Amino acid sequence: MQEELELILPGEDGFIEFNNDPIAVAIVRSEGKDFHIDLKDIDNDPRTEKIIITGEYLERAENIRKFYKQKLFLGTFKNRFKRTLFREHLQKALERKNKHKLHFTEVGMIAKLPEFYIQDIVKNEIREMCKTNTPFSMTLYNKTLKVEYIRSTITRFGGEVRYNHWFKTDDNKAVQFTLEYRNPLIDLFDYYLKKNKIFYLKGDFFCSEDEDFYYYTHSGQIAIPN
């Protein structure tokens, strides 16, 4: 027996109407384990509306919406970053009067927004703890640095997952150390992160920059003090 599949297609104007706030739906999706599922499929699930209403998803969605509205406004007003097609699409989606309508080109972007939000919030926390507003150009090779663990975020590319761990050096520089989901030591490392705050990073440290956020990217090994 061949199963019939219902395809969700945009209207003639290119827009898709959601039953729920699409950012709230994106938060629900981000908390699941299947990241191949489409945003509209989750929206059409009869359980989704109850999950969103009974949880704090609408409030969290509104916080994300306000955060990026302000970020886009300040970034443009203070000339912090260049206008890109991504930012233009995001601004249109956030400022649209009907929150439940997305252009088909915006769906993938909104699906990733909760993930971007966590990364940006963590970066703001790191800015308060580290010297990230001053450019530095000295790459360190074959060095060992004592660091203090701060926070972790997750980046997803399709089915691949990267765990980004942030540390602070003794001179208050931020360091990002990334592990891929295939790494067999991920669970062991998470165990030590819960027990320790101080580590030693061994290897190379490359200067990196992201919209006036300056930090080291570490390539090498991590050691746990005895």
Which residue in 98, 67, 103 sits closest to 88, CA to CA?
A: 103
What pLDDT shows up at residue 10? 60
Per-residue pLDDT tens over the stretch 156-207: 776 678 889 999 999 999 999 998 877 777 788 888 888 889 999 999 999 9
201 CB burial (10 A radius; 0-12, 13-18, 19+) = buried
Ordered by start, the domain boundaries in the chain are 15-127, 131-223
The three-class DSSP label of residue 180 is strand
| Residue whose entry in the numeric block shows the structure tokens 């009067």 | 97
Question: Which residues are CB-contacts of 216 (< 8 A; sequence separation ≥ 6)?
Answer: 140, 169, 173, 174, 175, 176, 205, 206, 207, 208
pLDDT at 2 over 50: no
Per-residue pLDDT tens over the stretch 40-85: 999 999 999 999 999 899 999 999 999 999 888 876 655 555 667 7
**pTM higher than 0.85 for the full model?**
no
Fold of the CATH domain 131-223: OB fold (Dihydrolipoamide Acetyltransferase, E2P) (2.40.50)
Output 143 or 160, whichever has higher pLDDT: 143
